[in-house]
Chains A and B, each alone.
Chain A
């Protein structure tokens, strides 16, 4: 996968594999000048580790080194990148000075600065939400408890946990509420940083929730069911919802992976990206109706909002700049080194739809019916075992193992 991180309307960072590229301008992504490149692998390799962390590192050696998520501080001074090697790097956006590089214990999924830029909030695949000091190292790292109650030697302050993978995080404009979207169709709104107080759940999606956008006291979300839903996150009330976003000719829906709010002609709109389709859906915020489907030249690996109607996507073939007003799609001039890396960039983090073949209720009730009929007819022994023709017990009868998978 590859990531885009806009700093302002002109410049930004591109992360691919172990490198971060600084891009001075929107239309010219990354110079070939090595000064603009940050080598994240070299930075993390220089961080010392203790024994437990060493083991964790070794077990992850085979993993492809890449940036999984990134964030810009609210004052736009600092960039935080979370890596597949289970590291977080915080560096100064202007000159790439590393502020902090530290280990985390699990695979990160989303990273976000809190509103005072003191912490980064990080979610992971195991459903933990933890915050870490962003600007300075903790004075002392003591053994602590995870949100699951386990002991750990890793730094951090546990905030919240779900039994499901966290797929997106969003803060309210005042920074006092944290919304967490998960694979179990839920959005949980907690106080921040007192996340043990859950204020609301926004419930209505029928598949995983993979993206959220906040405007004042409203929250927009989308995901596996491809609908856009609008919530009052103070109450958890569903205000409005769209039909699933899909092309007319398309059978079924593709998950929406990223939505953005943006202003077009003074009116609020939404742009929705699927990381499986060469299309951007532009949605009118007023009635949640799709007003445009902009075709793309390639499938996005990641999408980012620059300013106004200007978006960029990063794909294996190049970086593209899209204007949602004129609906133009332009290839961004990209340096050869980055193009080479992009060619075999990994897929964005996979999110799986649920697989409920396990423990099938229908099968159980069918087996139960047969069993009780046999008991009624006297074909089974008192213990419920099936009788053979010669009256001996059949070891394969209905017993404790009957609910384990039998297909």
Chain B
């Protein structure tokens, strides 16, 4: 795999935007216990979710299609936003301060866009939630077309492997939310975690890996590799990055 440099920065230039939040006020440790009963307001079911609270009027007539699970500081969302203006994208992040940073950042971007009579960044939003527990509360069956798992917590210890974001149990839920043909993107700078994610996605009957050719031609992959804070950091520190893309297969005949 390639070791990228920051010259491959694909992030949009936001230097003209006023009032962007400063990361130093939102720093938080990299881990959260997904088993705790966090103070999260999740809807009872997808029909009870008021998406206008996140996207304003832009949510009318549109449904969330892309989900970035554990979106961190939101680099991917903000980079992809101008590319897919008609698609609603949601970042889910369990850490309160980090999700709050992304929310504040998107607010600043939207404010800037509105001042210029545009609707840029109204298709992206961030939500503090626990994707390991509550995905079906937000999304209907087969609603999503893309799910991203970028630089997830590696949970190095053997005892904590069960907390990893890709497990056979959770893949069944991702397959429920994804439409057949939908894509799962994974990337990490930890080779062992990459092997784990590829192993379980390969073994799952509802996912298959894209061919090398297909992965190479994927339009979004460069953003997966280079748009996030973690991706930039890995490149700065000269660490390899291991991306992979999987397709959600149709359910087998019953």
Using CB atoms, name the residue of chain B closest to A372. B25
Contact of A148 with B96 at beta-carbon distance under 8 Å, contacts A160-B169, A204-B45, A400-B27 already known:
no
A323 nearest CB across to chain B (Å): 37
**Closest Cβ–Cβ distance, residue A393 to chain B (whole Å):** 14
List chain B residues, Cβ under 8 A from A403: 28, 95-97
Q: In the complex, A162 Cα to B176 Cα: how many Å?
A: 13
Q: Are A194 and B168 neighbours in the complex by a CB distance under 8 Å? A: no
| In-complex Cβ contact of B96 among A161, A163, A184, A359 (8 A) | A359
How far is A188 from B172 in the complex, measured between Cα atoms in Å? 11
Q: Is the CB of B27 within 8 A of A162?
A: no
- Tell me the minimal C-beta distance from A373 to chain B in angstroms: 13
CA distance A190 to B254 in the complex (A): 11
Interface status of A360 (Cβ within 8 A of chain B): yes
A361 at the interface (CB under 8 A from B): yes
Q: A356–B130 Cα gap in the complex (Å)?
A: 13
**Closest residue on chain A to residue B200 by CB atoms:** A149
Contact yes or no, B176 A158, CB < 8 A: no
Interface flag for A92 (CB, 8 Å) = no
* C-alpha gap A188/B136 in the complex (Å): 10
B205 CB within 8 Å of chain A? yes
Whether A184 pairs with B133 at a CB distance below 8 angstroms is yes
B: contact size bracket? 35 or more
For the complex formed, measure the closest distance between the CB of B180 and the CB atoms of chain A, giving whole angstroms.
11
Determine whether the beta carbon of B168 is less than 8 Å from that of A186.
Answer: no
Q: Are A149 and B96 within 8 A (Cβ)?
A: no
Task: Find chain A residues with CB under 8 A from B137 CB.
Answer: 203
Interface residues on A, range: 35 or more
Given contacts A191-B254, A400-B27, contact A148 B39 (CB under 8 A): no
Contact between A383 and B161, CB atoms less than 8 A apart: no
Is the Cβ of B168 less than 8 Å from the Cβ of A148? yes
Cβ of A197 and Cβ of B252 under 8 Å apart? yes
Determine whether B51 belongs to the interface, using a CB cutoff of 8 Å to chain A: no
Is B36 within 8 A of A147, CB to CB? no
Chain A binding surface SS class: loop
| Min distance, Cβ A49 to any Cβ of chain B, angstroms | 21
Q: Is the CB of B164 within 8 A of A399?
A: no
Residues of the B chain whose Cβ atoms lie less than 8 Å from the Cβ of A160 = 169, 172
B124-156, CB under 8 A of A: which get 1 and which 0? Answer: 000010101110110001000000000000000
Say yes or no: A201 contacts B204, CB within 8 Å: no
Give Cα A317–Cα B164 distance, bound, in whole angstroms.
Answer: 47
B141 partner residues in chain A, CB cutoff 8 A: 200, 236
Does A345 reach chain B (CB closer than 8 Å)?
A: no
Which residue of B28, B196, B205 is within 8 Å of A149 (Cβ)? B196
Taking CB atoms, residues of chain A closer than 8 Å to B100 are 364, 368
Asked if residues B162 and A148 are in contact (CB atoms below 8 Å), the reply is yes
Report Cα–Cα, A81/B176, bound state, in Å. 33
Which residues of chain A come closer than 8 Å to B161, judged between CB atoms? 148-150
Nearest chain B CB to A371 CB, angstrom units = 7
B82 interfacial contact with A, CB 8 Å = no
Answer yes or no: A75 CB below 8 A from chain B CBs: no
Encode contact with A along B220-250: 1 for CB under 8 Å, 0 otherwise.
0000000000000000000000000000000
Q: Contact: A196 with B136, CB < 8 Å?
A: no
Are A149 and B167 touching (Cβ within 8 A)?
Answer: yes
A16 to chain B, nearest CB (A): 32
B206 within 8 A of A: yes
Residues of chain A within 8 A (CB-CB) of B118 are: none
B251 touches A163 (CB 8 A): no
The answer to the question of A355 belonging to the interface, with a C-beta cut-off of 8 Å to chain B, is yes
Within 8 A of B (CB), among A147-192: 147-150, 158, 160-164, 176, 184-186, 188, 190-191
A354 within 8 A of B: yes
Report Cα–Cα, A203/B38, bound state, in Å: 19
Residues of B within 8 A of A368 (CB): 100
Q: Which chain A residues border B176 with CB–CB below 8 Å?
A: 198, 201
When the two chains form their complex, are residues B24 and A162 in contact, meaning their CB atoms are under 8 A apart?
Answer: no
**Interface residue A384 (Cβ < 8 Å from any Cβ of B):** yes
| A184: nearest chain-B partner, CB-CB | B133
Chain B, 88-102, CB within 8 A of any chain A CB: 95-97, 100
Give the residues in chain A near B208, CB-CB below 8 Å: none
With contacts A196-B175, A203-B137 taken as known, whether A384 is within 8 angstroms of B25 at the C-beta atoms is yes
B27 near A399 with CB under 8 A, answer yes
Which A residues are CB-close (under 8 A) to B45?
A: 201, 203-204
Q: At the interface, yes or no: B219 with Cβ under 8 Å from chain A?
A: no
Report yes or no: B162 in contact with A150, Cβ–Cβ below 8 A: yes
Complex contact B25–A147 (CB within 8 A): no
Q: For residue B199, which residue of chain A has the nearest CB?
A: A149
Q: A356 to B39, Cβ gap below 8 A?
A: yes
- Whether the pair A163, B132 counts as a contact (CB closer than 8 A) is yes
Known: A359-B38, A400-B28. A163 touches B44 (CB 8 A): no
Q: Which B residues are in CB contact (< 8 Å) with A263?
A: none
The residue from A197, A204, A356 contacting B206, defined by CB atoms under 8 A apart: A197
Q: Mark B2-39, 1 if CB is under 8 A from A, else 0.
A: 00000000000000000000001101110000111111
Q: Does A195 contact B (CB under 8 A)?
A: yes
6 residue pairs from A and B, CB less than 8 Å apart: A148-B162, A149-B161, A162-B169, A163-B170, A184-B134, A354-B37
Q: Which 5 A-B pairs have the closest CB atoms?
A: A161-B169, A148-B162, A203-B45, A198-B176, A354-B37
